[in-house]
Chain A
Amino acid sequence: MDAREVVIQAIYLASSVLFILGLKSLSHPDKARLGMQQAAVGMALAIVGTLFNHEIIRFDFITLALILGTVIGYPLGMFVPMTAMPQRIAISHMFGALAATLVGVAEYRINQPAVPRSTMAALGFEVLFGALTVTGSFMAFGKLQELITGRPVTYRGQNAVNITLFGVAVAMFLYLIYRPHSPMVFYAMIGLALLLGVFMVLPIGGADMPVVVSLLNSYAGLASSATGFAIQNNVLIICGALDGASGFLLSILMSKAMNRSFGNVLFGAFGAPPALAAGTQAKDLTVHSVSAEDAAMRMAYASQVIVVPGYGMAVAQAQHVVGELADLLEKRGVTVKYAIHPVAGRMPGHMNVLLAEANVPYDRLYDMEEINSEFPQADVALVIGANDVVNPAARSDASSPIYGMPILDVDKSKGVIVLKRSMNPGFAGIENHLFYAPNTSMLFGDAKSSLTRLVSEVKAL
């Protein structure tokens, strides 16, 4: 190692430490911002350090690419609305995986006749998971952005096709380790992986997106870690491992919050054909609707209101009005708390970010385990565009597809007001008996306009 190389390695080590400290700072919202700014410094150091690498002899491509990347990345960082965060995160997994895949392809092309088997294993893993993540993330982005239908796309024999494709790709991978000098197989494997990414995400519905987005996060991380193995760069291995661990942990948490296994999410096509077994039909049950005036009255004279936001709040972009309503109620002496289900929305933490944007202090946001015991004391639980996460069938109806999923015990509160567009069943197509319960009142209409009406009614009191 010459002196220059030692300095570069020292910089990489410092960057790795800063990254780990940055992630550690995320354990508390007060420290998080500073910690992540330090991580950004670590990144800048790593980039500058790399530019001193003796292998780099021309800077025109580098400069242009850095400028282009900044021009595209800046608006993606500064102007994407918080409601579009799930698709924004999904597309960034695509960029990460794309970089890893291309580096893998280039390394293979150049070194191809003399690639050792161990390096081939890393390269193969890198392009296999990288390519799969590129198209998978793009599909997830398309579904979340509603470029393609958010509903699961299924056909007969789908799982068999997917498993066969995956098996063939793995067989190619093993063959490449056995005989690294097989470029045709290498490129065919990439093609197959790209296809597999599309097929894998097709059958997954919107409500399952938190798991898939986390899983793709993990794959993108593993792909960059494999890049690190292939080009023998420790900082890449470390960051990839951090990213992979984070995505893996999040997908486990999300699956748990839905009481489903990984396999079930990936191969189950949740909610594809509306589950007919979903409990008794609700035809002869009555719905109690309520006017905005009455609803406002009940909340204004309550002592405690718990707000339960769901994806519907994000769709209607209603988070600011929610914050406004809560402020008004608090001025009248009402205690307002927010109950956040782990899979509410389309991404881990989705609701928290939206409410933080609406200036709701984070100490009013409660996780499911913290708030569930509070519902019996709440005078009003205000459900805004949430459905499956408050469906009591998950507790009581063994035939329901969501049976066993931990839910927010909204039905135990003294009164429930549900803001909902119509009586159409939710995303998973499962009938929700909460809406027919005697202590539930429905306020129909778009969440945002309903909330706006509530705000003006409370003001008028």
Chain B
Amino acid sequence: MNPITIIELYVFVLAAFVGYQVITRVPPLLHTPLMSATNAISGISLVGSLVLAGANRDNPSNWLGFIAVTAATINVVGGFLITDRMLKMFRRDPKPPPALEKKTGGAG
């Protein structure tokens, strides 16, 4: 195994910073889809699990990989589907809302 390099720390800090900035703009209206979306995206641990399950290092590793791939796939498949199902439900009123213009979240 190679030691961790400082580059990885850069990647982490910058990604966390981008994440914070992007997510600050998500309106409370969409906080539940946000949670399911980040869940689906965190299914990216599949990339680690797949290598583990397919590298054939030894039997325990294969099985650990098997469970990890299953768990991550559940999140990917279930997560994206349920996010889409939720987002599909959010619809605007065909006629404009009466009084008080609601601000449209941080568009753009």
Contacts and interface: CB of A to CB of B under 8 A. Distances in A.
A349 B82 CA distance: 15
A239 B44 contact: yes
B90 to A, nearest CB: 4
Interface residues of A, number: 127
Contacts of A111: 1
B4 A23 contact: no
B31 A99 contact: no
Interface string A4-31: 0000000010011001101110111111
A243 B20 CA distance: 10
Contacts of B72: 69, 95-96, 99
Contact of B16 (A96, A244, A253): A244
A361 B27 CA distance: 15
A54 B61 CA distance: 17
A95 B75 contact: yes
B45 A55 contact: no
Interface in A69-87: 69-70, 72-74, 76-78, 80, 82, 85
A243 B41 contact: yes
B70 to A, nearest CB: 4
A61 B86 CA distance: 32
A296 interface: no
B37 A103 contact: no
A109 B61 contact: yes
A232 B26 contact: no
Nearest to B94: A361
A60 B103 CA distance: 52
A348 B34 CA distance: 9
Nearest to B44: A239
Interface stretch (A214-222, A272-280, A416-424): A214-222
Interface stretch (A39-47, A379-387, A405-413): A39-47
A116 B3 CA distance: 6
B85 A77 contact: yes
Contacts of A107: 1, 52
B22 A50 contact: no
A363 B97 contact: yes
A68 B70 CA distance: 6
B79 to A, nearest CB: 6
Contact of A362 (B4, B47, B92): B92
A315 interface: no
B31 A349 contact: yes
A31 B100 CA distance: 23
Contact of B78 (A76, A110, A116, A235): A76
A374 interface: yes
Contact of A69 (B16, B30, B74): B74
Interface string B67-108: 111111111111111111111111111100111101111110
A65 B92 CA distance: 40
Nearest to B103: A370
Interface in A206-241: 213-214, 217, 220-221, 224-225, 227-241
A312 interface: no
Interface string B40-55: 1111111111111111
B104 A74 contact: no
Q: Which of A32, A118, A239, A240 has the most CB of B within 10 A?
A: A32
Contact of B89 (A46, A68, A357): A357
Nearest to A70: B77
A36 B60 CA distance: 36
Contacts of B16: 241-242, 244-245
A73 B73 CA distance: 7
B29 A239 contact: no
Contacts of A26: 26, 30, 33-34, 37
A104 B43 CA distance: 15
A106 B78 contact: no
Given A103-B45, A103-B68, A243-B41, 15 more contacts: A43-B40, A61-B62, A62-B69, A69-B70, A72-B70, A73-B76, A92-B79, A98-B71, A99-B43, A224-B45, A231-B51, A237-B12, A347-B35, A349-B34, A362-B91
12 contacts: A19-B41, A31-B107, A32-B33, A65-B66, A85-B32, A95-B75, A110-B58, A241-B12, A242-B18, A250-B34, A342-B28, A364-B93
